[in-house]
């Protein structure tokens, strides 16, 4: 049997094509990009070696600081927002709607599959002020407030992005966390109820600790996603006003393709990748120490 499952030629045939494409199109370009970060120029003008100049520029570039600060705020606020919204929804499904929740779960889930660009264009018009008030401003007018230029200030634009992302993802996180809540044994909850734990106390002392592992994976997934955010922000605010809502991903894209600075773009991409690596490893280690049984 070992001979049958250890057939080298068969293994090479099965794994080879995938590994080849993956290596050629992902692994090699990763190191290639790292090489570009020591050069200046682009695909049309050619490249020349500039040593560490790009890295010096990176350290002194105020746009990098702005982009990093935006990414941090966006990552923290959105992760808390969407995981909390998803968790509350999941609790709502399990304890209030119970068996009746299937349809509601499906309906609230579906925005996650919609094309990001379409959703972003929709939100642009939902919150628009000119040439015509969108539904949100109309509603504000109806209750006696003035229209707000939602994309005109950095603070407002940031919150519209957050609202849009929570609208898209809360149903997704709800289903993710709901399956985790279902894994909690019914008998445990009944026992706690009989002992007099109800409502918030039940959630705080019984449900929350028991759903910690699945909450953790939701947080990890969310943070990974927020670091790579690109489509929704490009389509919704295009990084504006100014560069107030520009994450590193978009800054890299603009530097490379709008200004043709591939060398410096590669350096920004390298910074982004290093951040992703550090955060992933940190989260992985944290999740191992956080849940001893998961380390098995």
Partner 1 sequence: MTAVTTQRQVDDRGRTGRFPTAGPVRSRALTKLTRRLPGRLLTLVLLIAVIYPLVWLFLGSLKSQSDYLNSPSYSLPAHWMWGNYKDAWVTGNLGTYIRNSVTAVLPALALVILLGSAAGFALQVMKWRLSRTVMLLFLAGIMVPSQMILLPLFTIYFQAGLTGSLWPLIITYTATGLPLTVFMLATYFRAVPREVIESAAIDGAGIFRVFFSIALPMVRNAILTVALVQFFFMWNDLLVALTFTNSNNLRTVQVGLLNFTGEFGSIQYGPLFAAICITVFGTLVLFVALNRQVMKGLTGGAVKG
Q: What is the C-alpha separation between 163 and 156, in angstroms, rounded?
A: 10
Establish if 270 lies at the interface with partner 1 (CB under 8 A).
yes
Establish if 294 lies at the interface with partner 1 (CB under 8 A).
no
Part in contact with partner 1 (CB under 8 A); list of ranges 55-63, 70-78, 151-159, 170-178: 170-178
DSSP helix/strand/coil, 111 = helix
Q: What is the C-alpha end-to-end distance of the chain, expressed in Å?
A: 29
DSSP state letters, 236-256? HTTT-STTTT--HHHHHHIII
Measured from the CB atom, the residue of 150 and 172 that comes closer to partner 1 is 172
Helix 154-182 × helix 212-227 angle, to 10°: 150
Establish if 6 lies at the interface with partner 1 (CB under 8 A).
yes
DSSP helix/strand/coil, 184 = coil
Site string for partner 1, 228-247 (x = CB under 8 A): x-xx--xx------------
Site string for partner 1, 101-140 (x = CB under 8 A): ---xxxxxxxxxxxxxxxx-xxx-xx----xxxxx--x--
Establish if 179 lies at the interface with partner 1 (CB under 8 A).
yes
CB of residue 245 vs partner 1: minimum separation in angstroms?
A: 16
Site string for partner 1, 50-69 (x = CB under 8 A): --------------------
Establish if 87 lies at the interface with partner 1 (CB under 8 A).
no
Phi and psi based region of residue 8 (left: phi greater than 0; alpha: psi -120 to 50; beta: remaining): alpha
Establish if 186 lies at the interface with partner 1 (CB under 8 A).
yes
Among 78, 157, 176, 207, contact with partner 1 (rule: CB under 8 A) = 176
Site for partner 1 in 201-220 (CB under 8 A): 214, 217-218
Enter the DSSP assignment of 97. I
Establish if 160 lies at the interface with partner 1 (CB under 8 A).
no
Establish if 183 lies at the interface with partner 1 (CB under 8 A).
no
Establish if 33 lies at the interface with partner 1 (CB under 8 A).
yes
What distances in angstroms separate CA 4 from CA 10, 11, 16, 55, one per listed residue?
9, 11, 18, 52
Establish if 29 lies at the interface with partner 1 (CB under 8 A).
yes
DSSP helix/strand/coil, 136 = helix
Contact 37, 54 (CB under 8 A): yes
DSSP helix/strand/coil, 39 = strand
Establish if 4 lies at the interface with partner 1 (CB under 8 A).
yes
The token pair at 60 is 């002194």
Contact 206, 185 (CB under 8 A): no
CB of residue 22 vs partner 1: minimum separation in angstroms?
A: 5
């Amino acid at each position: 049997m070992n001979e049958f499952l250890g057939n080298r030629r068969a293994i090479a045939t099965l794994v080879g094509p995938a590994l080849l494409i993956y290596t050629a199109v992902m692994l090699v370009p990763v190191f290639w990009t790292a090489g570009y970060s020591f050069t200046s120029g682009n695909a049309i003008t050619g490249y020349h070696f500039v040593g560490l100049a790009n890295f010096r520029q990176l350290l002194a570039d105020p746009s990098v600081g702005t982009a990093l600060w935006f990414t941090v705020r966006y990552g923290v606020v959105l992760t808390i927002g969407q995981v909390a919204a998803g968790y509350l929804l999941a609790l709502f499904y399990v304890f209030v709607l119970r068996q009746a929740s299937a349809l509601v779960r499906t309906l609230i889930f579906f925005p996650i599959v919609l094309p990001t660009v379409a959703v972003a264009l929709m939100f642009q018009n939902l919150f628009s002020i000119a040439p015509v008030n969108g539904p949100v401003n109309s509603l504000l007018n109806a209750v006696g407030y003035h229209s707000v230029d939602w994309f005109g200030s950095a603070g407002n634009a940031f919150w519209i992005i957050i609202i849009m992302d929570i609208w898209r993802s809360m149903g997704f996180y709800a289903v993710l966390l709901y399956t985790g809540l279902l894994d909690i044994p019914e008998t445990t909850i009944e026992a706690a109820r009989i002992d007099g734990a109800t409502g918030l106390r039940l959630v705080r002392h019984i449900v929350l600790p028991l759903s910690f592992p699945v909450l953790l994976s939701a947080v990890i997934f969310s943070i990974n996603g927020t670091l790579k955010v690109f489509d929704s922000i490009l389509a919704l605010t295009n990084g504006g006003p100014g560069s107030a809502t520009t994450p590193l991903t978009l800054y890299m894209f603009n530097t490379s393709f709008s200004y043709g600075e591939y060398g410096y773009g590669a350096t920004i991409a390298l910074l982004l990748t290093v951040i992703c690596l550090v955060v992933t490893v940190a989260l992985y280690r944290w999740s191992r120490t956080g849940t001893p049984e998961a380390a098995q």
